[in-house]
Chains A and B, each alone.
Chain A
Amino acid sequence: MSLLKIESLSLAIHGLKILDDVSMEVAPGRILGVIGESGSGKSITAFSVLQLLPGGAECTGRITLCGKDMLSLKEAELCAMRGREVGMVFQEPMTALNPLKTIGDQVAETILIHERVSKAEAMMRAAEALRRAELPVEKFPLSRYPHELSGGQRQRVVIAMAIALKPKLLIADEPTTALDVTTQAQILNLLRRLVEEDEMGLMLISHDLAVVADLADDLVIMKTGEVVEYGPAKKLFRNFQHPYSKALLAASGHVPAREAQARDVPLLQVREVVRDYTGHSHGWWGKTTLTRAVDKVSFEIRRGESLGLVGESGCGKSTLTRAILGLEDVQSGEILFDGLPVFTHHHANVAVRRRMQVVFQDPYGSFNPRWKVDRLITEPFHLMDKPPTGAARAAAIAEALESVGLTAGDADKYIHEFSGGQRQRIAIARALIIKPDLIILDEAVSALDVSVRAQVLDLLANLSDRFGLTYLFISHDLSVVRSITDRVLVMKSGRIVEEGPTADVFDNPQHSYTQQLVAAAPVLPADVVTAH
């Protein structure tokens, strides 16, 4: 007896077809993994179960939940089901909670909406729900506000809200995408435990095959609004039929071919660097507080090498990046690029700066929306004494765009005309245009879909071979770091805790934190990877 049954669901918004003949089923106590890249329709499928659809949406087909036909229910009846029969967990725990209400109130709200109970009783049940989500009242009183909790703890609050009424179905839309690796593992374990305890059905939506791999009982793979593959996870992983699923699997474990060899000449030397931030705790004249973001960090990057820097949010990666780029001074220690300091006399050293460039994470936020591509990618020319003009400038633009797989004609377009992957190529073109020696890739592929990510990684490997580039690859994603770096640094609370050749560090981690990280990282089962 299935709990949720979606049968040949098609959906169009203002006549534009979004979903086409989608069918899937969730049984009590089982986990259905829904996998697809952005735009595949996986989230809209989940929202159509609850009939939380944008205006102008038209559904055809059949959605049966607990024996009720969801498409024929009235809004009031749907409201009665949302939160009671179906709970939902969203991607972004920072915005899924109301910052002005305590966590107790927010969890109790779900109960008060659906049941006629007193406020006190609702709070008691909220405490119970939070305890089940592993936030015991003794340590996390109900009077806490969301901003007093970490990202993982907030996600637990969201989960507590979703399970407060013991729903029969839980929909989790990318519940761990915004979280760190170790937190992600904990949240996934929590979800699994809740499913077992409550005999609940779970629809787990993700873009990451590895996240779903060891959790899901059944698997749906979606592409542009269609289901391309559906079946029991174990069987499916061993024997994908559709070329898209195969490509997706290949892309998630993709290792780009690299030829460049690191030479034994140091390019960037970081020695005993310390960066403190001072804050004023009480107004202008209050006590100053000192936060040490980077604590005596030393390492070096050799010419032609690809060095990975791994760490969770708040470990000091970004601060270190800024210091290397000469955007901020450091309190003590030195950073030398090819023997020259990166920061001299309150200013970044221009001679050094023009040999380093950076690619950022967010393909949407790293470009001025009002500029055309030619102006965007030639911005680093500002570092040169005599920037090329006229034909030489056009040639440089064309070369940079073509080396990242775009065409010279793209120079005349605005940034919003490009997809996420193309934008990241443009970001790389912007970094390449002044022919730097070192490119810092700050989570440069983290926001991309797996197949696009594989292409960008290939491009990066290819560029380093062609131009002899050196990379500092900063990421929280261990599998990406593993595929593209020679050596890796592991950073925690401002310190480098482990350092060594990438394969050694990941296969045989020494420091307890590295062991934790490696254990928490979601991986595809080994036999699956070899089978393909």
Chain B
Amino acid sequence: MMGAFLHSRTLLPGAVLTLVFTFAALISLVWVPYDITVLDIANRMKSPNWTHPFGTDQFGRDILSMIMEGARTSIAVALVAVGIGMIIGVPLGLAAAARKGGLLDEVIMRANDLVFAFPSLLIAVMITAVFGASALNAIIAIGIFNIPVFARLTRGAALSLWNREYILAARVAGKGPARISLEHILPNVANLLIVQGTIQFSLGILAEAGLSYVGLGAQPPIASWGRMLADSQTMISLAPHLALFPGLAILLTVLGLNLLGDGLRDILDPRLRRART
């Protein structure tokens, strides 16, 4: 496992990038270079320099500090949204697979189709429009769209497992579908879920940035990469670094998570693993 980790061309850079942003978010909980709620108009729109490595914005706030706190917002929103998707979607998928072809399967999967049929960001805009713009509503909106992703993935993987003989053996041992799903199916689809989880995580970060960009995500004074981009838009010719750093942060985090997901799939999928050795 460790050898594969070091030799993988995607896993290592992916993990490093992800860890850098996670650390930035964690450190921001206890310390940031400057307090971002304090405005320092005298030092506004400074280019990167020794006191402000990433420069300052139009209110004189330190951009490095805002990126660090923004990482916290992005990661928190995406993580909880993926959590919602997994906690609701995986049991639904397991139940649908256990009752394949039955009424429950049809109801669950058609409800999934219904959610899939709507453009996700549009619905997110609607939810925040109805319930007000906040980080919490963004989480719920993104989370809902993660449910069918996990439900479908789980059902598909579980269906092929249900045909295995060890499931038949468990049925002969008198185990019911719920117990078989929990003991036999879930551990065997876990690796798929982890991989999909990292990919949904990166999509969640993008979605949060998108919502904040149109002003429907986290509200000031909570820092958010998406809103930093939106705010810098009018000043991009005067101070390009205002857009550059949040843009890079989004790019690198999403890239890192996707590489991580790719790499994890390579080492967690036993078929690919066998093919390589």
User: Which residues of A are interface residues toward B (Cβ below 8 A)?
Assistant: 325, 327, 348, 350, 353-354, 356-358, 360-362, 365-370, 379-383, 427, 430
B50 CB to closest chain A CB (Å) equals: 53
Q: Which of B165, B183, B188 has the most CB of A within 10 A?
A: B165
Interface residues of B in 174-190 (CB under 8 A from A): 174-175, 183-184, 187-188
- Do B172 and A362 touch (CB < 8 A)? no
Checking B164, B173, B187, B188 against A379 with a beta-carbon cut-off of 8 angstroms, the contacting residue is: B173
Set of chain B residues within 8 Å of A379, measured between Cβ atoms? 169-170, 173, 175
Closest Cβ of chain A to B241, distance in Å, is 49
29 contacts between A and B (CB under 8 A): A327-B172, A353-B172, A356-B172, A358-B172, A360-B165, A360-B168, A361-B165, A362-B165, A365-B164, A365-B165, A366-B164, A366-B166, A366-B168, A367-B166, A368-B183, A368-B184, A368-B188, A369-B188, A369-B270, A370-B188, A379-B169, A379-B175, A380-B172, A381-B173, A382-B173, A382-B174, A382-B175, A383-B173, A427-B169
Please tell me if the beta carbons of A368 and B172 are within 8 angstroms of each other in the complex. no
The majority secondary structure among interface residues of chain B is helix
Measured in the bound complex, the distance between the Cα atoms of B251 and A461 in whole Å is 66
Report A-chain residues with C-beta under 8 Å of the C-beta of B9.
none
Q: Roughly how many angstroms separate A361 CA and B183 CA in the complex, as a whole number?
A: 22
Q: Does B100 contact A (CB under 8 A)?
A: no
CB distance from B107 to the nearest CB of A (A): 13
Tell me which of B166, B172, B174 has the highest count of chain A C-beta atoms within 10 A of its own C-beta: B172
| Closest CB in chain A relative to B94 CB, distance in Å | 15
User: Shortest beta-carbon distance, A206 to chain B, in Å?
Assistant: 25
Known A368-B184, A368-B188, A369-B188; judge A353-B174 contact (CB<8 A): yes
CB nearest neighbor in B for A384 = B174
Interface size class of B (residues with CB under 8 A): 10 to 19
Docked CA distance A379–B170 (Å):
7
Contact A365 B174, beta carbon cutoff 8 Å: no
Q: In whole Å, how far is A431's beta carbon from the nearest beta carbon of chain B?
A: 9
B166 touches A327 (CB 8 A): no
Q: Are B165 and A380 in contact (CB under 8 A)?
A: no
Q: Are B165 and A327 in contact (CB under 8 A)?
A: no
Q: Which residues of A contact B170 (CB under 8 A)?
A: 379
Query: B171 interface residue, CB < 8 Å from A?
Result: yes
Complexed CA–CA distance, A367 and B170 (Å): 10
Instruction: List residues of chain A with CB within 8 A of the CB of B168.
Output: 327, 358, 360, 366
B169: chain A residues within 8 A (beta carbon): 358, 360, 366-367, 379, 427, 430
Chain B: which residue is nearest A434 at the CB level? B173
Asked whether, in the complex, the Cβ of A368 is within 8 Å of the Cβ of B166, the reply is yes
Q: Residues of A contacting B187 with CB < 8 Å?
A: 368, 370
In the A-B complex, the 9 residue pairs with the smallest Cβ-Cβ separation, listed nearest first, are A366-B165, A360-B165, A380-B173, A383-B174, A379-B173, A365-B165, A370-B187, A382-B173, A368-B166
Measured CB to CB, the nearest residue on chain A to B185 is A368
The residue on A at minimum CB distance from B170 is A379
CB distance from B193 to the nearest CB of A (A): 14
CB proximity of B49 to chain A, nearest CB, Å = 54
Are B174 and A350 in contact, with the CB atoms below 8 A?
yes
Interface string of B199-221 (1 = CB under 8 A from A): 00000000000000000000000
Interface centre among A358, A379, A380, A430 (most CB of B within 10 A): A379
Q: In whole angstroms, what is the CA distance A365 to B160 when docked? A: 12
Interchain CB contact under 8 A, A325 and B172? yes
Contacts A365-B165, A366-B165, A367-B166 given; indicate if A327 touches B171 (C-beta within 8 A).
yes
Residues of B within 8 A of A367 (CB): 166, 169
A362 to B166, CA, bound (A): 10
Closest to B174 in A: A383
Whole-angstrom CA separation of A354 from B173 in the bound complex: 8
Taken together as a complex, chains A and B put the C-alpha atoms of A354 and B188 apart, in Å, by 27
A375's nearest neighbour on chain B, judged by CB, is B183
